[in-house]
Chains A and B, each alone.
Chain A
Amino acid sequence: MILSSLNLKNFRSHKDTNLKFSDKLNFIIGGNGQGKTTVLESIYYLCTTKSNCSKSDLEVVSFNETGFELNGIFNDLTESKIRIYYSALENKKYYYRDSKLISRSADIIGKFPIVILTPSDHSITQGAPSERRKFIDSIISQASENYLRTIIDYGRTLRQRSSLLFQIKDNRNKNIFSELDAWTEKLVESGLIIINYRKNFAADFIKFIVASYKIIMGETEVPTLRYSFLENYGGSDFKVEFFRLLDLKRNEELRRSTNLVGPHRDEILFEINNMSLKTYGSQGQHKTFQVVLRFAEFFYLKEVMGVVPLFLLDDIFGELDTKRSLKISEYLRELGQTFITMTDLTNLSFMKKNDNDKYITLNSGAVAYG
């Protein structure tokens, strides 16, 4: 999958910007506030219908405008034209693929696989467990529509069940326990599907982490990924354990009106030489690990889906030393189409030039190539 051209209209600082891309590395260069990251955001929009950083479409619209529009042309075996139009007046977004309106976002997710590395990735290794669950969920969802639906179904089950727990606590209904049992069974049914998917994913994904880590860091350290579910359960009968924990926590669940057992409380632990990254990792180790995770995601999706994802890298060389930057820049050659933002090219003095690369400079709305 190759994005050959892109037009942004009233999209943040871009009034009307036309861009042409190389099918290899694209360096997007410009000073602060010239809209480099915004270009990446718009590519993310085209591939997923959503922004990677802001929750509302309205935020993305340029000041004093009533909507934004994005047009992108993808080339695979054939050409696909993607058009997104958002109207702030209707607060509605229209997604067209080859002039056909697509109404369900589930019909898009996973069709244009994409991997994005941004400075906000620090939360994956340094933030709360929910950030790590979100990270692996987004990868598995791209590869499996069934997983995506189960996640949605499970989320709904959680909301229904906690509402019921609240009703029981509120004493509004005392004959509700058999109803709670039914929702508990539903929770376990969907929860087990999620656990199994995540377990298989973790076992697969670690191979990709180890491979990328070796290339970027050399062989001195060994990274691991540990998937911890159902209170760190180590046995083989997940269903029995799931019900046992629910039984054990029943009173606490009722007291707090909260779901206390299930994959929404899973943890994914990253380690280097068996030491917890979150507890003992240095800033540099964190940053490197975040880069490794995104490279691993890229190669994982490429293998599982059989399509080469687009790779977006936002300000990647900022915090890394020259040695690691060099390794990563060599590694970039093994990717497919890649978009890299940076403030100036001096950061790249160590990089070997290649005729297929494109250097795109953004300056106050003007675009220059070369």
Chain B
Amino acid sequence: MQIAEPLLRAIEELSKLPGIGRKTAQRLALHVLKSKDEDVSKLVNSLLELKTKLHYCSKCFNLAEGDLCEICMNTKRDQKLICIVEEASDVIAIEKTNEYNGIYHVIGGTLSPLSGIGPEDLKIKELLKRFENETIEEVILALNADTEGEATSLYLARLVKPLVTRVTRIARGLPIGGDLEFADEATIGRAMLSRNLL
């Protein structure tokens, strides 16, 4: 089988992306080939701009166009409430809810001795520094509910407890709008354990 080299190269590059296998990569590459020149330029430029115009916020390490991200610059947000998440994608997830009006801190991963990731590899020093300069009253830990996420939450809780009045961890339980019967047993079990008093 012989494939033109430019096409092969495009397929190779596209299949490096997460969630893209070789077949999908080939489909995407052929689609780009068929597209109008201006559409392809738009795609290429948007990808380049992503890399050149976006940085990490110097305060919370969320994605930012300038030195600070939109959220850190917004004075209407509650500066006493800080939510700690693993990745910038988690900020997007929480922002979509429109339920949270505090600020964030993205630590950039979780502790994992097996992969050699310790506190110094995460933005934890930067987090502690924020407590010196800002008046923070509550820390919300919103890390993933897996083994490493929970251990990291416990680690952070130990660190920040002496610095603030309240440290909380987001609840684990049933998805809203989801039928109880469709939730998996472990989730229902956890929701039972962390039930609320009415």
Seen from chain A, the residues whose Cβ lies within 8 Å of a Cβ on chain B are 144-146, 148-149, 153, 156-157, 159-161, 163-164, 167, 173, 175-176, 178-179, 181-183, 185-186, 189
5 more A-B residue pairs beyond the given contacts A145-B185, A189-B150, with a C-beta to C-beta distance below 8 A: A160-B151, A182-B155, A183-B113, A185-B151, A185-B154
In Å, the complex CA distance between A278 and B196 comes to 47
- Chain B nearest Cβ from A304, distance in angstroms: 13
In Å, the complex CA distance between A175 and B159 comes to 13
Chain B residues whose C-beta falls within 8 Å of the C-beta of A148 in the assembled complex: 186
B114 x A159 contact (CB < 8 A): yes
Interface residues on B, range: 20 to 34
- Chain A nearest Cβ from B40, distance in angstroms: 35
Which of A145, A146, A156 contacts B147, CB < 8 Å? A156
User: Looking at B113, B114, B185, which has the most chain A CB atoms within 10 Å of its CB?
Assistant: B113
In Å, the complex CA distance between A148 and B112 comes to 22
A186 x B154 contact (CB < 8 A): yes
- Chain A nearest Cβ from B125, distance in angstroms: 11
Is B21's beta carbon under 8 Å from chain A? no
B185 x A144 contact (CB < 8 A): yes
B189 x A160 contact (CB < 8 A): no
Is B108's beta carbon under 8 Å from chain A? no
A182 x B151 contact (CB < 8 A): yes
Chain A residues whose C-beta falls within 8 Å of the C-beta of B190 in the assembled complex: 146
**With contacts A145-B184, A146-B189, A160-B148 known, is A167 near B159, CB below 8 A?**
no
In Å, the complex CA distance between A173 and B121 comes to 13
In Å, the complex CA distance between A344 and B127 comes to 73
Q: Find residues 100-114 in chain B having any chain A CB closer than 8 Å to their own CB.
A: 111-114
- Chain B nearest Cβ from A339, distance in angstroms: 28
Chain A residues whose C-beta falls within 8 Å of the C-beta of B158 in the assembled complex: 178, 181-182, 185
In Å, the complex CA distance between A185 and B169 comes to 15
B114 x A160 contact (CB < 8 A): yes
In Å, the complex CA distance between A156 and B159 comes to 23
Is B62's beta carbon under 8 Å from chain A? no
B118 x A186 contact (CB < 8 A): no
Which of B119, B147, B184 contacts A153, CB < 8 Å? B147
In Å, the complex CA distance between A164 and B114 comes to 8
A145 x B155 contact (CB < 8 A): no
- Chain A nearest Cβ from B164, distance in angstroms: 17
Q: Can you name the residue of chain B whose Cβ is closest to the Cβ of A186?
A: B151
Chain B residues whose C-beta falls within 8 Å of the C-beta of A182 in the assembled complex: 111, 151-152, 154-155, 158
Q: Can you name the residue of chain A whose Cβ is closest to the Cβ of B151?
A: A186
Chain A residues whose C-beta falls within 8 Å of the C-beta of B159 in the assembled complex: 178
In Å, the complex CA distance between A163 and B119 comes to 15
**With contacts A179-B111, A186-B154, A189-B150 known, is A146 near B118, CB below 8 A?**
no
Q: Find residues 136-186 in chain B having any chain A CB closer than 8 Å to their own CB.
A: 146-148, 150-152, 154-155, 158-159, 184-186
In Å, the complex CA distance between A185 and B127 comes to 22
Chain B residues whose C-beta falls within 8 Å of the C-beta of A156 in the assembled complex: 147-148
Chain A residues whose C-beta falls within 8 Å of the C-beta of B150 in the assembled complex: 186, 189
Show 16 A/B contacts (Cβ-Cβ < 8 Å), sorted by A. A145-B184, A146-B190, A153-B147, A157-B147, A157-B151, A160-B111, A160-B112, A160-B151, A161-B113, A175-B119, A178-B159, A179-B119, A182-B158, A186-B147, A189-B150, A189-B154
- Chain A nearest Cβ from B116, distance in angstroms: 8
